[in-house]
Structure 1
Amino acid sequence: MPRVSFLHAQGRSGEVESNLTLLEAAKMLGFELNHDCGGNASCTTCRVEVQMGGDNLSEIDFDEQDLLDREALSEPWHRLGCQARVLGDVVVRVPETKWVQPTSASSGEVGKRGAGLP
């Protein structure tokens, strides 16, 4: 099983099933990766920066590339967590500037740990 690491103050790492999206992997590992559009590739809140293992993610498709280009995120290490599928070990950084502490009741303890963060 591939190992995924989310580099962030509240990040998580662990093994996940192959072919999950990074967004699904984050949820499985208990990391609340933002996804304002519900994981439908119509925003960039789930954007991550691939640090290692870029070849272990699915190829970028037209819709993902188009959205990244519109946001001027055209470097090859930028990916959308809702679109990039895990095929092997990968390490991604979650940019702090795009990450907002989840406020839903389902976030439970995760929301409490981040109190006081901008």
Structure 2
Amino acid sequence: MTRLTFLPHPQICPQGKTIEVEPGISICDAALNAGIPIEHACEKACACTTCHVVVRQGFNSLAAAEEKEEDLLDKAWGLEPESRLSCQAKVGDQDLVVEIPKYTINLVSEQH
């Protein structure tokens, strides 16, 4: 099992949360399964940036992003070198610390 630690986010996960998951699951699915309502406007089809996260620890354990993901990430709010689309980043066997950015560019979110 791999440990994922989600850092506190004021609306989505105020207390933060640490979970154990099987390798191979996406960060997005792991969050949703744990009750962390991360946005995913395109239903995890790698067609938006609403599930953008920053992997604060363990980034190098993730498989490299594909070109489509890299192109979309260029449009994400708060892009950093360790940014990934959580619907595309699959958990490996190294623990991760994940930050959900404060904002997204989703103008139609029911949460706003």
Larger radius of gyration: 1
Assess, with a 3 A threshold, how the Cα gap between structure 1 residues 45 and 89 changes in structure 2: closer, same or farther.
Answer: same
The CA deviation string for residues 18-40 of structure 1, in whole angstroms up to 9 with x for no partner, is 01011111012111110000001
Partner of 1:3: 3
The ranges of structure 1 where at least 4 consecutive aligned residues each deviate by more than 2 angstroms after the TM superposition are 69-76
Which structure has the highest helix share of the two? Answer: 1
Kept in 2: contact 1:26–1:33 (CA 8 A): yes
Q: Which runs of no fewer than 5 residues in structure 1 stay unpaired?
A: 104-110, 112-117
CA displacement at 1:58 relative to structure 2: 2.1
Distance 1:33 1:69 in 2: 19
Distance 1:72 1:12 in 2: 23
Percent identity between the two aligned chains: 38
The CA deviation string for residues 78-111 of structure 1, in whole angstroms up to 9 with x for no partner, is 10000001102101100122299x85xxxxxxx8
1:93 equivalent among 84, 88, 99: 99
The CA deviation string for residues 50-73 of structure 1, in whole angstroms up to 9 with x for no partner, is 111102222111110011124476
Is 1:54 aligned to 2:54, yes or no?
no
Aligned length: 104
Distance 1:5 1:72 in 2: 21
